[in-house]
């Protein structure tokens, strides 16, 4: 205690009324000093402490006193001292778990931490996570997955009831039932097994930061199917932001398991058709989209001849183009390989084969996706059969036309070597940005009757919506 005496009394001293009143007044006027600071543990005897206000500090303390609790006035958040670190108690409510697939079941397991908001409380996600099978469910159906407390046990259910947002907390819940917290969506396949899963990443209160998705894209590689390469496209797991013109309206769309889509009419789910309209056509470019309906968060895949405006299935309102494929004269998907943004033909295509093309600029169409600008990758050969030291120059059609030269801009990519002749060949690999009609320009500095220009398209680089 810090209360000081008024008088030090000695044997034989006379206690006067004034002295006694002084001692009592000292206690009454400084009562708090009788208990402050504590010199031992204080036992409240299981009684409430009311009107209690935390210590207010303008910055974090130096960690030293385990379990010390205080309030930060600079960020309006309470903090506590672990003895070695300080930790903030956040003012938002979010789920630390994630909906995933475990064997034949769904499970909701700890991901960032072990708490989930349910009906205004933070419930603990157990070390042995709850699971959910497909018993009693229908085939090829998308369900909303909800978590709820069955007594003291965290439990999951699949429901066709739409989700809503709980007022005041922002937590997604089952419409009309705040005891059910929305975890994501899951779709059954034709055999009533879980296939596509779209988890909710986190739950934020209205006062918390808002996720802004830009042009993220990871995974989602495409390839010819191993069993039916002519009619089925495989799409790998991955995630991307939707392509809304207003950035704030974009959502993150994820495939949590690999997908296959055929070139038949679109139907929900993996293993079904992918065409937005009509029947698959011969010698036609198709663009591959990830699509989502935000009422259920179900994510799927769609094929369209449109590079920007596919015909969306009912209720699907988000999309992102992730690649393209071309059909043969028999409407088969032509074989290709994709590595990130690079698409390579299994068999390169000879797109340019011109004899004596002249010295004026020419426009040529390459076998690259129609309707989008990509960087065409092609092998070019110049046979200077007539012209000595002629220069071959490729460019994008939007670039100003200039005559190529060996010693002045714009130069060129390939230069004939020395004297002209039937065996005078020069070659190189060229990478040029196309226009949306799959076209590039080329031009020779000089051209003669025996000069030949050839180009075989090897593949293309496609940014797929990234800036």
Give the pair of three-digit tokens for residue 339. 């590595």
pLDDT digits (tens, 9 = 90+) for 212-249: 667 889 999 999 999 999 999 999 999 999 999 988 78
Q: Which pLDDT band holds residue 95 (cuts at 50, 70, 90)?
A: low
Q: Name the residue among 438, 322, 330, 335 with its Cα closest to residue 378.
A: 438
**Rounded to an integer, what distance in angstroms lies between the CA atom of residue 181 and that of residue 195?**
22
**Rounded to an integer, what distance in angstroms lies between the CA atom of residue 106 and that of residue 100?**
6
Q: What are the residues facing 165 on neighbouring strands?
A: 172
**Environment class of residue 347 by beta-carbon count within 10 Å: exposed (0-12), middle (13-18) or buried (19+)?**
exposed
Higher pLDDT, 99 or 418: 99
DSSP run (H or E) holding 203: none
Please give the angle made by the CA atoms of 295, 126 and 256, to the nearest 5 degrees: 40
Pairing assessment for the beta strands 451-461 and 342-355 based on DSSP bridges: antiparallel
Q: What is the dihedral of CA 80, 82, 87, 93, to 10 degrees?
A: -80
Contact 337, 458 (CB under 8 A): no
Q: What is the dihedral of CA 259, 265, 268, 271, to 10 degrees?
A: -40
Q: Where are the domains of the chain?
A: 1-40, 55-88, 97-199, 217-334, 344-461
Per-residue confidence (pLDDT) for residue 209, from 0 to 100: 43
Architecture of domain 344-461: Sandwich (2.60)
Per-residue confidence (pLDDT) for residue 213, from 0 to 100: 67
**Rounded to an integer, what distance in angstroms lies between the CA atom of residue 388 and that of residue 403?**
16
**Rounded to an integer, what distance in angstroms lies between the CA atom of residue 340 and that of residue 94?**
33
Q: Mean pLDDT lowest for which of 90-99, 319-328, 386-395, 404-413?
A: 90-99
Higher pLDDT, 12 or 300: 300
Task: Give yes or no for residue 251 having a pLDDT over 50.
Answer: yes
Please compute the mean of the pLDDT values over residues 81-85 and round it to a whole number.
78
**Rounded to an integer, what distance in angstroms lies between the CA atom of residue 242 and that of residue 322?**
10
Q: What are the residues facing 303 on neighbouring strands?
A: 275, 288
| pLDDT more than 70, % of the chain | 92
Per-residue confidence (pLDDT) for residue 89, from 0 to 100: 61
Q: Mean pLDDT lowest for which of 81-85, 126-130, 281-285, 309-313?
A: 81-85
Per-residue confidence (pLDDT) for residue 93, from 0 to 100: 52
Q: What are the residues facing 254 on neighbouring strands?
A: 239
DSSP run (H or E) holding 28: helix 17-29
pLDDT digits (tens, 9 = 90+) for 264-274: 999 999 999 99
Q: Which pLDDT band holds residue 73 (cuts at 50, 70, 90)?
A: confident
pLDDT digits (tens, 9 = 90+) for 323-357: 999 999 999 999 999 999 999 999 999 999 999 99
Contact 159, 174 (CB under 8 A): yes
Pairing assessment for the beta strands 259-265 and 272-275 based on DSSP bridges: parallel
**Rounded to an integer, what distance in angstroms lies between the CA atom of residue 256 and that of residue 299?**
10
């Amino acid at each position: 205690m810090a209360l000081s005496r008024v008088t030090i009394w000695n044997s034989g001293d006379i206690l006067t009324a004034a002295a006694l009143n002084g001692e009592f007044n000292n206690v009454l006027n400084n009562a708090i000093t009788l208990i402050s600071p504590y010199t031992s543990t204080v036992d409240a005897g299981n009684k409430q402490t009311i009107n209690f206000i935390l210590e207010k500090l303008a910055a974090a303390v130096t960690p030293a006193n385990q379990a010390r609790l205080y309030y930060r006035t600079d960020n309006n958040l309470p903090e506590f001292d672990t003895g070695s670190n300080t930790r903030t108690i956040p003012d938002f409510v979010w789920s630390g778990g994630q909906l995933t697939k475990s064997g034949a079941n769904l499970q909701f397991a700890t991901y960032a931490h072990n708490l989930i908001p349910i009906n205004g409380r933070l419930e603990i996600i157990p070390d042995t996570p709850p699971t959910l099978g497909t018993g009693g469910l229908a085939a090829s159906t998308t369900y909303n997955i909800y978590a709820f407390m069955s007594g003291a046990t965290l439990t999951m259910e699949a429901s066709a009831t739409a989700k809503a947002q709980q007022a005041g907390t922002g937590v997604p819940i089952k419409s009309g039932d705040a005891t059910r917290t929305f975890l994501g969506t899951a779709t059954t396949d034709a055999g009533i097994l879980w296939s596509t899963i779209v988890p909710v990443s986190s739950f934020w209160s209205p006062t918390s930061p808002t996720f802004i998705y830009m042009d993220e894209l990871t995974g989602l590689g495409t390839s010819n199917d191993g069993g039916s390469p002519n009619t089925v496209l495989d799409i790998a797991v991955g995630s991307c932001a939707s392509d809304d013109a207003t950035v704030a309206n974009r959502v993150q769309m994820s495939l949590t398991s690999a997908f296959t889509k055929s070139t038949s009419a679109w139907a929900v789910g993996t293993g079904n058709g992918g065409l937005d309209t009509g029947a698959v056509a011969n010698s036609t470019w198709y663009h591959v989209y990830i699509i989502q309906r935000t009422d259920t968060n179900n994510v799927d895949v769609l094929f369209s001849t449109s590079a920007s405006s596919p015909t969306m299935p009912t209720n699907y309102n988000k999309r992102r183009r992730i690649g393209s494929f071309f059909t043969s004269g028999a409407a088969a998907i032509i074989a290709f390989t994709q590595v990130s943004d690079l698409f390579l033909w299994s068999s390169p295509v000879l797109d340019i084969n011109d004899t004596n093309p002249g010295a004026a600029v020419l426009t040529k169409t390459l076998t690259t996706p129609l309707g989008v600008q990509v960087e065409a990758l092609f092998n070019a050969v110049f046979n200077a059969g007539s012209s000595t030291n002629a220069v071959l120059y490729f460019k994008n059609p939007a670039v100003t036309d200039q005559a190529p030269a060996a010693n002045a801009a714009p130069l060129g990519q390939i230069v004939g070597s020395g004297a002209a002749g039937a065996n005078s060949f020069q070659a190189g690999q060229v990478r040029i940005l196309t226009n949306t009609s799959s076209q590039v320009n080329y031009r020779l500095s000089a051209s003669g009757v025996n000069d030949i220009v050839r180009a075989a398209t090897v593949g293309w680089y496609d940014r797929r919506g990234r800036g």
